[in-house]
Amino acid sequence: MEELLKELSKRAEEEILKAKSLQEIESLRVKYLGKKGELTQILRGMGSLSPEERPVIGQLANDVREKIENMILERREKIAKEEKERKIKEEYIDITMPGKPYKYGHKHPITLVMDEIKRIFLGLGFSIAEGPEVELAYYNFEALNTPEDHPARDLQDTFYITSDILLRTQTSPVQVRTMEKTKPPIRVISPGRVYRSDDIDATHSPVFHQMEGLVVDEGITMGDLKGVLNVFAKKFFGESTRTKFRPHFFPFTEPSAEMDVSCFACGGKGCRVCGYTGWIEILGAGMVHPNVLRMSGIDPEKYTGFAFGLGIDRIAMLKYGIEDLRLLFENDMRFIEQF
Ligand code: DAH
């Protein structure tokens, strides 16, 4: 029996030292010290011992039990400590680590161009006027001296909602809305989206952007128009920029003109950007037609005015060397982030 107890003690010691988890320890405790454990099994045989042997074996058995109990206790503490340390290590937060960088929003090239143009005109004393994108045909056409049979009114060019309501094809209706509401002197610009029933390709989109300009006061002349637009061209494209006004036709201005700027890429020598002409067309303009003033409630005998309309998308493409208009509408961040 003594042998059995010593063997048991040794085996228990080895196994306990090898245990790696609290669970393992617990099952070893049951295995050796439990009610049906090995120690109990051995002690069952006590009855067959002689009275002299009994206290000796009894003492030994108690020692073995105590030893195993202590070992289990120790091992358990050690494992618990290790587990705690492992957990602490695992959950350690390095507060000196740099944070994740925020991804900031990014201005679209159209917005950049609009902001820059607005800045220039605000600096010249203009303010910003707004008008609806879903517009009455009256403001988009009639009030702009564009009669019923004008080709621009064709279904092919205009998105009609009803026969009277449409998506504005130009920012020019804001001129009329402004003149109806405000007495001269008027000095406004009006940037915004416009719509035309065009198929999408590298230079056409059913939605694009314009910026309208309108000045009405006593004694406004074509000289004022040229002066203001020259200042704008130099501020936007660079001080050495020259301008050229070509006669043109718009129903709502008389006389009308288109303005070209000397090519900012080649300075006018001729290159790919300007199609080897040295000039780039950027806007339409003219003196506000007396009919338009009259219909908007302004006396054309007393007041005169000039107006202009810029194509924002085209200017953005020229300025940033963008070759396909569609890129401006796809909103691919890889593209937008380049500006
Ligand atoms: N609304 C014209 C267009 O979409 C552009 C324009 C031309 C506006 C002359 C004007 C202007 O104000 O005077 O083609």
- Any domain includes 59: yes
Decide whether any atom of ligand 1 lies within 6 Å of the 212 Cβ.
Answer: yes
Q: Report the candidate in 261, 270, 273 with the shortest Cα–Cα distance to residue 234.
A: 261
Quote the CA–CA distance of 333 and 70 in Å, as a whole number. 67
Taking the whole predicted model, whether its pTM rises above 0.85 is answered as no
Whether residue 254 is found in the same domain as residue 156: yes
Are 19 and 119 contained in the same domain?
no
Verify that 64 and 188 share a domain, yes or no. Answer: no
Q: Assess whether 175 and 76 both reside in one domain.
A: no
> Looking at the structure, do residues 15 and 160 belong to the same domain, yes or no?
no
Q: Output the pLDDT for position 319.
A: 87
Q: How far is the CA of 293 from the centre of ligand 1 (A)?
A: 15
Range 262-266, long-range pairs (CB < 8 A, 24+ positions):
264/237, 264/238, 264/318, 264/319
In this structure, are 122 and 242 located in the same domain?
A: yes
Domain range holding 262?
109-336
Residue 96 covered by a domain: no
Give the contacts of 189 (CB within 8 A, at least 6 positions apart).
117, 118, 121, 126, 127, 128, 129, 211, 212, 213, 214
Report the separation in Å between the CA atom of 5 and the middle of ligand 1, taken as the mean of its atom positions: 108
As given in the structure block, the two tokens for residue 104 are 């900031």
The annotation places the binding site at: 254
Among the listed residues 277, 249, 247, the one whose alpha carbon sits nearest the alpha carbon of residue 262: 277
Return mean pLDDT, the chain.
Answer: 92
Confidence of residue 282 (pLDDT cuts 50, 70, 90): very high
**The pair of three-digit structure tokens given for residue 231, joined into one six-digit string:** 């200042």
Instruction: Give the separation between CA 38 and CA 7, rounded to whole angstroms.
Output: 11
- pLDDT value, residue 251: 94
Give the tens place of pLDDT for each residue, 7-25.
888 988 888 888 888 888 8
| Whether pLDDT at 156 is above 80 | no
If pLDDT is split at 50, 70 and 90, which confidence band does 222 have?
Answer: very high
21 neighbors 79 (Cβ within 8 angstroms) = yes
**What does the pLDDT read at residue 39?**
84
Q: Does 105 or 98 have the greater pLDDT score?
A: 98
Is the per-residue pLDDT at 186 higher than 90? yes
Residue 271 has pLDDT above 80, yes or no: yes
Residues 126 and 38 in one domain: no
- Closest ligand 1 atom number to CA of residue 252: 13
Decide: 170 in ligand 1 pocket, CB within 6 A.
yes
Q: What is the average per-residue pLDDT within 80-102? A: 89
pLDDT of residue 155: 64
Res 154 pLDDT > 80: no
* Count of structural domains within the chain: 2
**Between residues 60 and 255, which one has the greater pLDDT?**
255
Query: Is residue 95 one of the residues assigned to a domain?
Result: no
Give me the sign of the Cα torsion angle 328, 332, 338, 339: positive
- What's the confidence (pLDDT) of residue 38? 85
User: Which one-letter DSSP state was computed for residue 285?
Assistant: E
Q: What pLDDT is attached to residue 202?
A: 87
253 lines ligand 1 (CB under 6 A): yes
DSSP string, 296-327: TT--TTT-EEEEEEEEHHHHHHHHHT---TTH
Confidence of residue 3 (pLDDT cuts 50, 70, 90): confident
The minimum-distance atom of ligand 1 relative to the CA of 170 is: 4
Verify whether ligand 1 is closer than 6 Å to residue 178 (CB atom).
no
Do the domain assignments include residue 200? yes
C-alpha to C-alpha distance for 255 and 265, rounded to whole angstroms: 30
Give the separation between CA 211 and CA 190, rounded to whole angstroms: 5
Q: Does residue 172 line the site of ligand 1, with CB under 6 A?
A: yes
CA atoms within 13 A on the CB side of 102: 3
Distance 309 CA to ligand 1 centre (A): 4
Asked if residue 97 belongs to a domain, the reply is no
285 Cβ closer than 6 Å to some ligand 1 atom: yes
The Cα 262–Cα 240 span in angstroms is: 9
**207 and 143 within one domain:** yes
Closest ligand 1 atom, residue 212 Cα: 12
314 Cα to the center of ligand 1, angstroms: 14
Task: Say if residue 122 is in the same domain as residue 203.
Answer: yes
| In a shared domain, residues 71 and 113 | no
Reported as a single tens digit per residue, the pLDDT across 29-87 is 998 888 888 888 888 888 888 888 888 888 888 888 898 899 899 988 988 898 899 99
Residue with tokens 């080709």: 151
One domain for residues 24 and 56: yes
State pLDDT tens for residues 106-152: 899 999 999 999 999 999 999 999 999 999 999 999 999 998 888 76
Q: In a 3-state reduction of DSSP, which class is residue 322?
A: coil
Amino acid at 90: E
Q: Does the pLDDT value for residue 276 go beyond 70? A: yes
